[in-house]
Amino acid sequence: MSSPAEPGHPGRYDGLRGDDIAEGLALPHAVIFDTIGSTLDVAHALAEEGAPAGTLVLADAQSAGRGRQGRTWHSERGAGIWLTLVERPSDVAALDVLSLRIGLGLARALDAFATEAIRLKWPNDLFVGDRKLGGILVEARWRAGSPEWVAIGVGVNVRAPSGEARATGLRDDAVRLAVLEAIVPAIRTAAACVGPLDESELRAFAERDLAAGRRCVEPVTGTVRGIDASGALLVHVPSDEPRTVAVRSGSLLLEETP
């Protein structure tokens, strides 16, 4: 399979070729870029050409990394892992919770490289303490009412980005290739799961939940009570008749603490 024509496609990542990385991670194919707009765009192009599940796109730097709700950001050269994996799941219920499942898998894998246990913020963010470590973006493409493929974008700061006080990185001794070797299998394992979140996954999320018990102002105003098996955010909303609502879209904005 040919790689899409993109500038800065050197074929090496911390000294390893794409074939080396693919073989080491038991993947069918890995494409490496020096600098690219977004690994997600390349992954979608490869999937459209028929790339098999497990195709990996890696970049040393991104000039237009993509986040939720159309946000973009610059991913610093060599400062983190900027990747997209192509997967071809068939279970729609699993797609609804895929970002959360991946977050759980990444948290477990990244604990070994962080200064403290990784925390999770609904729906797709990784934190160390109160600082953001990384994020997940899952984009599905459908055909005849079924998912044909998903592109799973993951960004993890190996070192803290410069000039971003609310972001952090991994321990100073974390080696990028070792981190990559830990997180790719975690992503693939999560992508292979079926059905909604089970009780063990809900407990695991609750143990890492950054927002539980805190007040939020978006997507609704109230107090966060966790998530349910469908991946919805549970928020206790004060009113004449207080109730807990399940929110399935939007971004979670927590009330600032003094």
pLDDT bracket for residue 237 (50, 70, 90): very high
Across 232-250, average pLDDT? 91
Q: Which of 2-6, 189-193, 253-257 bottoms out in mean pLDDT, i.e. has the lowest?
A: 2-6
> Domain locations in the chain?
12-206, 211-254
Residues 35-54 have pLDDT tens digits of 998 999 999 999 999 999 99
CB 136 within 8 A of CB 153: yes
Give the C-alpha separation, 138 to 98, whole Å: 8
pLDDT confidence of residue 18? 95
Give the C-alpha separation, 107 to 9, whole Å: 30
pLDDT confidence of residue 77? 84
Give the C-alpha separation, 184 to 54, whole Å: 9
What is the 3-state secondary structure of the chain?
CCCCCCCCCCCEECCEEHHHHHHHCCCCCEEEEEEECCHHHHHHHHHHCCCCCCCEEEEEEEEEEECHHHCEEEECCCCEEEEEEEECCCCHHHHHCHHHHHHHHHHHHHHHHCCCCEEEECCCEEEECCEEEEEEEEEEEEECCEEEEEEEEEEEECCCCCCCCCECCCCCCCCHHHHHHHHHHHHHHHHCCCCCCCHHHHHHHHHHECCCCCEEEECCCEEEEEECCCCCEEEEECCCCCEEEEECCCCCEECCCC
Q: Is 6 exposed, middle or buried (0-12, 13-18, 19+ CB in 10 A)?
A: middle
pLDDT bracket for residue 90 (50, 70, 90): confident
pLDDT confidence of residue 1? 38
pLDDT bracket for residue 2 (50, 70, 90): very low
pLDDT confidence of residue 65? 58
pLDDT confidence of residue 66? 62
pLDDT bracket for residue 71 (50, 70, 90): low
Q: Which of 19-33, 65-79, 105-119 bottoms out in mean pLDDT, i.e. has the lowest?
A: 65-79
Q: How high is the mean pLDDT of the chain? A: 91
Q: Please indicate whether residue 7 or residue 82 has the higher confidence score (pLDDT).
A: 82
Q: Please indicate whether residue 8 or residue 140 has the higher confidence score (pLDDT).
A: 140
Tokens encoding 47: 């999937």
pLDDT confidence of residue 242? 77
258 pLDDT exceeds 90?
no
* Fold for the domain defined by 12-206: BirA Bifunctional Protein; domain 2 (3.30.930)
202 pLDDT exceeds 70?
yes
